[in-house]
Chain A
Amino acid sequence: METSIYSVLAFYVLAAVILGSAILVVSMRNIVHSVLFLAICFIAMAGLFLILDAAYLAVIQVLVYAGAVCIMIIFGVMLIQRTDMKQSNLFNRQTFMAGGVVALTLAVSGFFAGTTAWADLAANTPVPEDSLGQIGQLLLSKYVIPFEVAALLLLVALVGAIVLAKEVKANVDD
């Protein structure tokens, strides 16, 4: 498979968008803006998945992350609205320490990423056309137990979230 200049270009553009919006997510002082940049980050990531021939995942990414997770977070933000929204997303006391740790992490992981000799098979094996069908087949045959477990997890999470966030009526003895 030939990697054209366009896909290279697309990669760089998308990477820049992802990283830029991620940095903004972290640095914004208004949590609402953070969430919006998060959405942008997710959408850009969907684009990245498209480059990686994972169209199904790209769509899932948009549907679940941008469409559901972001909205859920938005809901959370709305439910706990404060008047000082502009100062809602500040840094805490251990920021510098955290910066150190993160720099270290980046250094280590970057070092590994850069020095590992990744097996690069992409050049000669193209991704099959009908990826969606194959993923479906795999999910319901080979990976059926994890699939069911994930379904169960979602159910449990659903019930758990409802129970946790349920409004408790004021008791008489309160």
Chain B
Amino acid sequence: MLVEFALHHAWLVPLLPALAFLIIVFLARPWPKLSAFISVGGMATACFFATLAAYGVFTNHQYTEHPLVYAARWLTLGLPGMPELQINVGVQLDPTSAMMLFMVSFIATFIQLYSVGYMKGDPGFSVFFSYLSLFAASMLLLVISSNLLQMFIAWELVGLCSYLLIGFYSHKISAREAAKKAFVTCRVADFGLLLGILGLVITFGTLDLVELSERVANFREYTTFGTMTLLAILVFIGPIAKSGQFPLHVWLPDAMEGPTPVSALIHAATMVVAGVYLVGRMLFLFHEVPVAMDLVAITGAFTALFAATIAITQREIKRILAYSTVSQLGYMMLALGVGSLTAGMFHMWTHAFFKALMFLGAGSVLHALHHKADVWEMGGLVKKMPITSWTFVIGGLAIAGIPPFAGFWSKDEILVVTLNGGHYILYAMAAFTAFLTAFYMWRLIFLAFYGEEKPENHPHESPWTMCVPLIVLAAGAMTVGLLGTPWNNIWAEWIFFGEAHHSGEIAWGAMISSAVIAVAGIYLAYTLYLKDKEKVKVKALAERYKSLYNLSFNKYYIDEMYLWFNHTMVDGSAKLFYLFDIYVVDGIVNGLGGFGKLSGEGLRVLQTGRLQNYALVFFLGVLAIAVLMVFAGPSTASLVLGGVM
């Protein structure tokens, strides 16, 4: 009965964090502990409901075919000559959204718990929790949206929270800049998404996902293939920025200026995958347009490789993780682009666990080292911070793709579907990315946790509120992948697009090769960074390929390119418009003004400035109109009045 209740009241899940947000903002703000309690409590309750709802969905196969949708009428818009557009607010529960609902609320709960320890003593403690709650609320709203407009609202709310949380340390200039950057970048892309949504509305006349998917399937009744292509690409622009795809990925690494739990929650586990989720949700649209699919796949693959090459040279721990995130998001996009919702979502699912784990681990390290971020300055932390280190290592194994950790299965799934789809170049890129991933991630681990201890550091293990999430997530990173092993692919039975995957033959070759690639990457990292105590080889390599190294270290100068573009193009055109404005527009306006001024001088006498005088005349006018309307009839009156006007 409780499951039933949860299923039919899934809107409670976003509502509870939203309530927590309101309560904290309006009532509990002066009492940090109370705020944290409300926030975590709200989140935990939401997680409870989400778990129930997910349980409800995953025990009932009917929802895979027919999502559970219930909605309330919000607006009815009607324009003359067009069919009435009804906009609903509602909940759509199918396995995909149920999985997301569970994942987001679960991870958010633990990250909030983690934040209790991490943010202790911060002056903005309560505010931070209110933001986290608001974020969770909007993300969950996004997940359960049954409707594109609702989803877009949540999408923007999520962006707002991201902005608030990145800029949380608003006393730091870099944080403020990063927040602005994230906001602006996302806005640029959201414009595309908004256009796409509008286009969909105009074309198909509905915003409900279910209805839309039905109509899209028969899109030729409504529109042409060209339009569809355009729409698909427009819709894809939104996820490009939100999920940090090339070339709009630039905000994501900078977003690490926010507190670490934020990085973990937003920029690794939940918000950034919103784009992937959106693409997954809209896969029925992309599916109709092969060009768009290819675009998605290529963007994903390129982003994955591109980000991985940057990550190998970065020095800051969170930055490495950030580029790794970008890279993994590229993986997911790749999977979606080759048409496998299963693989994409599966990677998203596993990635959420191990990446959140790694970010939290990084946060724990930073917390212990008083925010010293450079991995070269760490070392040997495993002795002082065993829990953090070992959980981090688990995360590293998972992301590198060592069986049987979670990342292996999902990554393997992606590689397999890429290969099966016949995208060999993409496969090669993905495989190489996998190698790089293992390399840079273990580079990080070897540098930070092993090797010699640095005497100037005095690390210590973090409090229990920080350790418990780490352990739980580590357990997750070890096990959640088992849902989707090729032998018993429960995952694919539930989450798929089109036809359900049948766990048929096992692609042993791909599986073994990806494991080997991972091991190779780790071994390379081991030789370069752990065995070689003086790091001679590394330095020599960097010296030898200095230009390449610099290119990678400076992130291919993409930020600089954007800057240059802004400076030259935008400023130049602005100058041009300025001149036009000064001479042409102002000239006209001033000329008219001069005329007005002269005539005004003449009429000035009539103006007494006294309100009651005006009112008097005004009422005389009203009387005149009334008399006119009655005695001369309304049409004459309007004629006369029209003349006066």
Contact = CB atoms under 8 A, between A and B. Distances in A.
Interface of A: 92, 94, 97-98, 101, 104-105, 108, 112
A105 B623 contact: yes
B613 A101 contact: no
Given A108-B627, A112-B630, A94 B612 contact: yes
A72 to B, nearest CB: 21
B644 interface: no
Interface string B602-616: 000000000011001
Contacts of B613: 94
20 contacts: A92-B612, A94-B612, A94-B613, A94-B616, A97-B616, A98-B612, A98-B616, A101-B616, A101-B619, A101-B620, A101-B623, A104-B620, A104-B623, A105-B619, A105-B623, A108-B623, A108-B626, A108-B627, A112-B626, A112-B630
Nearest to A112: B630
Nearest to A107: B623
Contacts, number: 20
A105 B616 CA distance: 11
State the main secondary structure of chain A at its contact with B: helix
Contacts of A94: 612-613, 616
A163 B613 CA distance: 29
Q: Which 5 A-B pairs have the closest CB atoms?
A: A101-B619, A108-B623, A101-B616, A104-B623, A101-B620
Given A94-B612, A98-B616, 9 more contacts: A94-B616, A97-B616, A101-B623, A105-B619, A108-B623, A108-B626, A108-B627, A112-B626, A112-B630
A103 to B, nearest CB: 11
A146 to B, nearest CB: 15
A112 B616 CA distance: 21
A121 to B, nearest CB: 24
Contacts of B616: 94, 97-98, 101
Contacts of B623: 101, 104-105, 108
Contacts of B627: 108
A97 to B, nearest CB: 6
Contacts of A112: 626, 630
Contacts of A104: 620, 623
Nearest to B620: A101
A7 B613 CA distance: 41
B620 to A, nearest CB: 6
B634 to A, nearest CB: 14
A112 B613 CA distance: 26
Contacts of B619: 101, 105
B505 to A, nearest CB: 59
Interface string B381-417: 0000000000000000000000000000000000000
B336 to A, nearest CB: 40
A92 B612 CA distance: 10
A52 B554 CA distance: 80
Nearest to B617: A101
A57 to B, nearest CB: 27
Nearest to A104: B623
A112 B626 CA distance: 10
Nearest to A92: B612
Contacts of A105: 619, 623
B102 to A, nearest CB: 35
Interface in B561-618: 612-613, 616
Nearest to A109: B626
A94 B620 CA distance: 14
Contacts of B612: 92, 94, 98
B594 to A, nearest CB: 35
Nearest to B630: A112
A80 B620 CA distance: 33
Contacts of A101: 616, 619-620, 623
A61 to B, nearest CB: 26
A108 B628 CA distance: 11
A104 B627 CA distance: 11
B612 to A, nearest CB: 6
B76 to A, nearest CB: 11
Interface in B56-94: none
A104 B623 CA distance: 8
A97 B612 CA distance: 11
A101 B620 CA distance: 7
A94 B612 CA distance: 9
B343 to A, nearest CB: 46
A112 B612 CA distance: 26
A98 B626 CA distance: 18
Nearest to B626: A108
B98 to A, nearest CB: 33
B610 to A, nearest CB: 8
A71 B630 CA distance: 41
Contacts of A97: 616
A144 B623 CA distance: 34
A104 B619 CA distance: 10
A97 B615 CA distance: 12
Nearest to B608: A94
A108 B629 CA distance: 12
